Each structure stands twice: as C-alpha cells, then as structure tokens.
Amino acid sequence: MLAYVRRTTVKLPDDLDAQLRAEAERREMTIAEVTREALETHFGTGSRRHLGAAGAGRSGRPDTSSRIEEILRAELGP
C-alpha cells in the first residue's frame, strides 16, 4: 500500500488510452495500477518488478504453457 499518493491528470491520445484500458482489463487491474507500474518500470523506482505473465494461469487460454516464451518476452523484453 502506498503511504502517500498524489493525484495526477494525464492527457492521452485516444489510441493510447484504449491500449491502457485494454491492458488493465486483461490483467484485471485498475488503470491507476497499470499506470503506476509502467512509470515505476520506466524510471526504475519500483520496489519489485511485476510480471503480467504471473497471472497467465487465469487467462482462460488453453495455449498459455505452449506460449510461455512469447509471453515472457513480451513482459521482459528481448
């Protein structure tokens, strides 16, 4: 839990907003959580790295285990 939180408004183009909302829904997270995680990753200030693939078992997709390398590459980069 965050000890002190400051509210910030960010203006996004429609396509980026749609991507953000889709990612939050896909990961069953709030938009604020996804945004904080992205900023922490970008600035390297997060206390730990979050892997979206960690919840892959709940994806409802039958091919997750066969796609694990692809999923991890997407999460961690090359």
What are the extents of the domains in the chain?
A: 11-47, 51-78
What's the rounded Cα separation, in Å, for the pair 5 and 17?
22
What pLDDT is recorded for position 12?
94
Q: What is the pLDDT along the chain (78 residues), one digit of tens a residue?
A: 556 778 889 999 999 999 999 999 998 889 999 998 888 888 887 655 555 555 555 666 777 777 777 777 777 766
What's the DSSP call for residue 62? T
What pLDDT is recorded for position 22?
93
What pLDDT is recorded for position 62?
75
What pLDDT is recorded for position 48?
55
What's the rounded Cα separation, in Å, for the pair 78 and 49?
16
What's the rounded Cα separation, in Å, for the pair 61 and 41?
27
First to last CA, the chain: 31
What pLDDT is recorded for position 46?
63
What pLDDT is recorded for position 15?
94
